[in-house]
Amino acid sequence: MTTRIVSRQCTLCEAHCGIRVTVDGDRVIRIEGNPDDVLSQGYICPKATAMGALHHDPDRLRTPVRRVGDRFEPIGWDEAFAEIGRRLRAIRRESGPSSIGMYLGNPAAHSSSVLYGVLLRVVLLTRNFYSASSIDQFPQEFAAWRMFGSNVLMPIADIDRTDRLVILGANPAVSNGSVTTMPDAKQRIKNVRARGGTVVVIDPRRTETARLADQHIAVVPGGDVYLLLAVLHVLIAENLCDERAVRARCSGWEELRETVADCTPEWAAPYAGVDADTIRCFARDHAAARSAVLYARIGVCQQVTGTLTHWLVNTVNAVTGNLDRPGGQMFATAPVDATRFGKYLPVGYGAWTDRSGRYKSFRSELPVAALADEILTEGPGRIRAMITYAGNPVLSTPQRGRLDAALESLDFFVAVDMYVTETSRHADIILPPVSQLERADVNLLFPVFSVRNNLRYDAEVFAPPADGLEDWQILARMITEVLPLPARRFTGRILDAVFARLSPMRLAALGIAVGPYGILRRGRAGLTIAKVRATPGGVDLGPLRPRLRALIGTRDRKVRLAPDDFRGAVRELFATRPDGPSAGTDGYDLRLIGRRHLRSNNSWLHNVPAMVKGRDRCTVLMHPSDAGARGLTDGEPVRVSSGTGSIVVTLEVGDDIRPGTVAIPHGWGHREPGVGWRVAASLPGANVNLLHDPALVDPFSGTAAVNNTWVRVTGAE
């Protein structure tokens, strides 16, 4: 047998674990963890093997296709690009640049082709740019921008050195960390305890992570903001803050004190669903730890209080002296040092709005919650053509179920995707990139958010097919097509030739050369792609180092502890509880949150048999007391209804969830006509985003609040 082994990474989620792919001829026969990988050290989760299955998947598109009636037919690349250019240019001529909308999905960030996605967005000059960020980390970016003067400065939890790790609204034992990239999170969490530290998990569900913790606090969904205000109250009232650190590095201390003066644990307890003593002890324990860090992620992002909660997370870290020090919240020094230049990038908050005027742009994009309306509502500025790149917004964003109809109503729709999905089935043309194993890459984004400074190389396992294109090549051709070029036949060819030489790999080499480890700074000892490539586990660039002073973008170079608009929002919390219709009034009496599974990845691993074998995953998890009260039993189909929609899923009864709360995973519901995922299309499950109201958003960032929706659960009849 002539087998060979290639070292690279699994690029399915942010962890980018190092893998060794054993290949026999043109088949992947084994995928294992790479023990030499400097970040993941041999760890992989069960999803890693899907990298091989996706490559071999017979349902994966290998050539561009064009829709003819309700079928797709293969077409050549040149024909596809020519048609795309003709149609998009005509629509723009007729209806202006904003009539072309674009949506960028999560896997885009997992390859450096994303640079070309951003460039395409720039040349489109459209106001209608959307991405998964507005159902993901926007609140973190917004809080970072207000406090540190740059949206890029989202701090990382230094979990490998902390003495006290507090996790709110994240389940890294399953997700392996996000905006704190930590492959093998389980082991890292166990290590905190093994070295004498403490782990606390704040989550309405006793998650896989909570099971590893010393303490689990089952907060009410959306209750974190109250909990943290009260924690700050106790820290300040009992003089438990590191005032020296605060005075040296922060502004707004007096305003912060005033803001939380009335936020006693007794006030917060009913809203947080956590008793006052627990809150008080939490604050004291937190202050007493040698180092301590609060790490929060999407459970608290996808809330109407998402930005406020992330502000309070950063604030607790700052006032306890845990900002920018080992064991606290820190910033990476990545080979292309985005954190250093983030402060020069304009955020342009509110530079424009959607047509209703409700949603403000934030770093040049509009919240995806507005997308269906911007397509469907008649009038000037309406989206008439869409480009989606590596995204499945029909399943991943709340649109009142109207996105299907909206996409179908477009004059033209191009999807850059290798599957006919719930979204791309509406496209006129689908452009599939080569498989992930057919591309070489150096990911420069995740080192910015990793728990250790590093750089790793992704070797290609198979040579791409002769007529295969990578995402960046597809996007570059689209850029040429949409640019208003004079003498297109001639200038277009020149531009294509220029882009062909500007591969993301070449751009990365340049970025690394001028970066903190590059040859410009370090001479011959400097880091180069060739050196990283020659080191199959990647290059370790050391632990995180204190550096906020050099990075901060606020005018007085101090951390803003109490931005005015956040203080205003806290005052409003005293007047109203902004969490949707209240229990009972509309017959909606349970709060719906999300959950992730180790073998699932948002909407798109469900066509890999090994990832979906066994029992139905898209269940509604409910506490036995809630099931009993409704006369419902484990395993029966139930109807889950909200003010926005209704779905039928299987009931799973279990006491891991807080009574009064239910959980359903997102990314399911593949039984739609025309979907090309044959395995996925045979599975049970439904689209949970049909239940979430797109109008319910974090008012600062417009992020969809899909982790706290009032629902009713009844027998499916």
Ligand X SMILES: Nc1nc2c(c(=O)[nH]1)N[C@H]1C(S)=C(S)[C@@H](COP(=O)(O)OP(=O)(O)OC[C@H]3O[C@@H](n4cnc5c(=O)[nH]c(N)nc54)[C@H](O)[C@@H]3O)O[C@H]1N2
Q: Which does 314 bind (CB under 5 to 8 A by kind): Mo ion, ligand SF4, ligand X, none?
A: none
- Stretch of 41-49, 54-62, 267-275, 690-698 lying at the interface with ligand SF4 (CB under 6 A): 41-49
The minimum distance between CB 669 and ligand X, in angstroms, equals 11
Quick one: which of 150, 162, 171, 176 contacts ligand SF4 (CB under 6 A)?
Answer: 176
Task: Return residues touching ligand X (CB under 6 A).
Answer: 13-14, 105-107, 111, 132, 135-136, 168-172, 174-176, 178, 202-205, 207, 219, 221-222, 224, 297-300, 303, 389-393, 396, 416-419, 421, 433, 436, 471, 593-596, 598, 600-604, 666-667, 688-689, 692, 706-708
Per CB under 6 A, 44 contacts ligand SF4:
yes
Give 140 or 150: the residue with its C-beta nearer to Mo ion: 140
> Mask: binding to Mo ion, 129-148, rule CB under 5 A, as x and -?
-------x------------
- Stretch of 43-51, 205-213, 346-354, 372-380 lying at the interface with ligand SF4 (CB under 6 A): 43-51
The minimum distance between CB 171 and Mo ion, in angstroms, equals 13
Residue of minimal Cβ distance to Mo ion: 136
> Mask: binding to Mo ion, 94-133, rule CB under 5 A, as x and -?
----------------------------------------
Give 99 or 601: the residue with its C-beta nearer to ligand SF4: 601
Per the document, the length of the chain is: 717
Give 99 or 176: the residue with its C-beta nearer to ligand SF4: 176
| Binding residues among 1-30 for ligand SF4 as defined by CB under 6 A | 10, 12-13, 15-17
Give 306 or 676: the residue with its C-beta nearer to Mo ion: 306
Q: Which residues have CB under 8 Å from 638's CB, separation 6+? A: 620, 632, 648, 649, 650, 651, 713, 714, 715, 716
3-state SS assignment for residue 269: helix
Sign of CA dihedral 355, 360, 365, 371: negative
* Interatomic CA distance for residues 478 and 470, integer angstroms: 13
Give 168 or 330: the residue with its C-beta nearer to ligand X: 168
The minimum distance between CB 132 and Mo ion, in angstroms, equals 6
* Interatomic CA distance for residues 329 and 24, integer angstroms: 45
The minimum distance between CB 35 and ligand SF4, in angstroms, equals 14
Cα dist from 535 to 42, 182, 693, whole Å? 15, 20, 48
* Interatomic CA distance for residues 294 and 159, integer angstroms: 10
The minimum distance between CB 684 and ligand X, in angstroms, equals 18
What tokens were used for 85? 């250019």
Q: Which does 392 bind (CB under 5 to 8 A by kind): ligand X, ligand SF4, Mo ion, none?
A: ligand X
Give the residue from 392, 412, 387 showing the smallest Cα distance to 475: 387
Give 422 or 428: the residue with its C-beta nearer to Mo ion: 422
What burial letters (b/e) apply to 324-341, b meaning 16+ CB within 10 Å? bbebbbbbbbbbbbbbbe
Give 7 or 307: the residue with its C-beta nearer to Mo ion: 307
The minimum distance between CB 312 and ligand SF4, in angstroms, equals 29
* Interatomic CA distance for residues 375 and 404, integer angstroms: 11
Q: Which residues have CB under 8 Å from 690's CB, separation 6+? A: 398, 400, 401, 644, 645, 646, 647, 669
Give 601 or 619: the residue with its C-beta nearer to Mo ion: 601
The minimum distance between CB 665 and ligand SF4, in angstroms, equals 16
Q: How many residues bind ligand SF4 (CB under 6 A)?
A: 12
Per CB under 6 A, 371 contacts ligand SF4:
no
Give 10 or 621: the residue with its C-beta nearer to ligand SF4: 10
- Phi and psi at 607, nearest 5°, equal -95, 0
Quick one: which of 48, 250, 256, 415 contacts ligand SF4 (CB under 6 A)?
Answer: 48
Name the CA dihedral angle for 9, 664, 649, 624, rounded to a multiple of 10 degrees: 130
Give 15 or 336: the residue with its C-beta nearer to ligand SF4: 15
| Binding residues among 183-212 for ligand SF4 as defined by CB under 6 A | 183
The minimum distance between CB 564 and ligand X, in angstroms, equals 25
> Mask: binding to ligand SF4, 397-436, rule CB under 6 A, as x and -?
----------------------------------------
Q: How many residues bind Mo ion (CB under 5 A)?
A: 1
Give 249 or 666: the residue with its C-beta nearer to ligand X: 666
Q: Which residues have CB under 8 Å from 217's CB, separation 6+? A: 200, 201, 202, 203, 227, 274, 278, 282
Give 17 or 296: the residue with its C-beta nearer to ligand SF4: 17
* Interatomic CA distance for residues 121 and 102, integer angstroms: 7
3-state SS assignment for residue 584: coil
The minimum distance between CB 19 and ligand SF4, in angstroms, equals 7
Q: Which residues have CB under 8 Å from 363's CB, separation 6+? A: 141, 151, 345, 347, 348
Sign of CA dihedral 35, 39, 45, 48: negative
Q: Which does 388 bind (CB under 5 to 8 A by kind): Mo ion, ligand X, ligand SF4, none?
A: none
Q: Would you put residue 364 in left (φ > 0), alpha (ψ -120 to 50) or beta?
A: left
What tokens were used for 277? 């003593």
The minimum distance between CB 184 and ligand SF4, in angstroms, equals 8
Q: Are 649 and 685 in contact (CB under 8 A)?
A: yes
What burial letters (b/e) apply to 83-102, b meaning 16+ CB within 10 Å? bbbebbbebbeebbebbbbb
Please classify residue 459 by burial: count the beta carbons closer than 10 Å to its beta carbon, then call 0-12 exposed, 13-18 middle and 19+ buried.
middle
> Mask: binding to ligand SF4, 442-481, rule CB under 6 A, as x and -?
----------------------------------------
The minimum distance between CB 605 and ligand SF4, in angstroms, equals 9
- Stretch of 39-47, 57-65, 499-507, 544-552 lying at the interface with ligand SF4 (CB under 6 A): 39-47
Alpha-carbon 285 to chain mean position: 31
Per CB under 6 A, 45 contacts ligand SF4:
yes
The minimum distance between CB 596 and Mo ion, in angstroms, equals 10
DSSP conformational letter for 487: T
Give 336 or 368: the residue with its C-beta nearer to ligand X: 368
The radius of gyration of the chain from alpha carbons, rounded to an integer in Å, stands at 25
The minimum distance between CB 507 and ligand X, in angstroms, equals 18
Give 235 or 437: the residue with its C-beta nearer to ligand X: 437
DSSP string covering 148-210, please?
A: HS-TT---EE-TTT-SEEEEES--HHHH--SSSB-SSHHHHHHHHHHTT-EEEEE-SB--TTG
- Phi and psi at 271, nearest 5°, equal -75, -35
Largest CA distance in the chain: 74
Q: Which does 221 bind (CB under 5 to 8 A by kind): ligand SF4, Mo ion, ligand X, none?
A: ligand X
If DSSP states are collapsed to H, E and C, what string results for 197-215?
CEEEEECCECCCCHHHCCE
* Interatomic CA distance for residues 223 and 299, integer angstroms: 11
Give 449 or 457: the residue with its C-beta nearer to ligand X: 449
Cα dist from 399 to 373, 649, 660, 688, 698, whole Å? 8, 19, 25, 11, 16
Give the residues lining the site for Mo ion (CB under 5 A): 136
Give the residues lining the site for ligand SF4 (CB under 6 A): 10, 12-13, 15-17, 44-45, 47-48, 176, 183
